[in-house]
Amino acid sequence: MARLGDVAVKVRSKNAGPFWVTIDIFCGSAKAFDRVRAAITAERAAEVLQTPTQTLKRFEIPDLKVVKLSIPRPAVQGTVADRDMHGAALGALMAEVEI
């Protein structure tokens, strides 16, 4: 077992407009990419992010060795319930996932 952030080169998150947030996992090598894409399934990501799998979008981009996850924001950007205006912290959360 290792943390995703130790296997991948970079895990980042950012708003994709006010209603979505996107997480990019840059794996760096083919070996890390294979490991990450096997471990970070849509179901696993949905569990960590506490979001329905139906609206979670998951992409594999082999040329970049990237796994990308997009979800509706936990709270719409800037609403009273929002805690993270730029969607910056979900990357740190994902990076701590054990794979």
Partner 1 sequence: MTRVLVPSGALGLGYDREALDRGIAARPDIIAIDGGSTDSGPHYLGTGTSKYSRASTRIEWAGLMEARARAGCPLVIGTAGTCGADSAVDWLVDITREIAAERGEAVKVAVLKSGQIAGDVAAAWQAGRVTPLEVAPEVDATTFAGCTNIVALAGAEQVQAALATGADIVIAGRTTDTAIISALPLQNGDHAGGAWHGAKIGECGALCATNPQSGVILIEFDADGFTVHPMADGARATPHTVSAHMLYENSDPFILYEPGGHLDVTGAGYTALDDTRVRVEGSVWHPSDRYTVKLEGARQAGFQVVSLVTVRDAHYVANIDRWVADIAAKCRAKAEARLGTDDFGIELRVIGRDATLGALEHAAGTAHEVGVLAIVTAPDAALAGEIAKMLNPYLLHYPLTAEEEVPTFAFPFSPPEMSRGMVYEFCLNHVMTLDHPMDAFRLDVVEVG
Q: What is the Cα–Cα distance from 26 to 40, expressed in whole angstroms?
A: 13
Which DSSP state fits 86? T
Cβ-Cβ contacts under 8 Å for 62 (sequence gap 6 or more): 33
Count other C-beta atoms under 10 Å from residue 2's C-beta: 10
Residues in 28-47 that interact with partner 1 by CB under 8 A: none
Which of 39, 48 has the CB closer to partner 1? 48
Nearest distance from C-beta of residue 72 to partner 1, angstroms: 4
Q: Which residues of the shown chain bind partner 1 in the complex (CB under 8 A)?
A: 14-20, 22, 24, 26, 48-50, 55, 57, 59, 61, 63-64, 66, 68, 70, 72, 74, 76-80, 83-86, 89-90, 93, 96
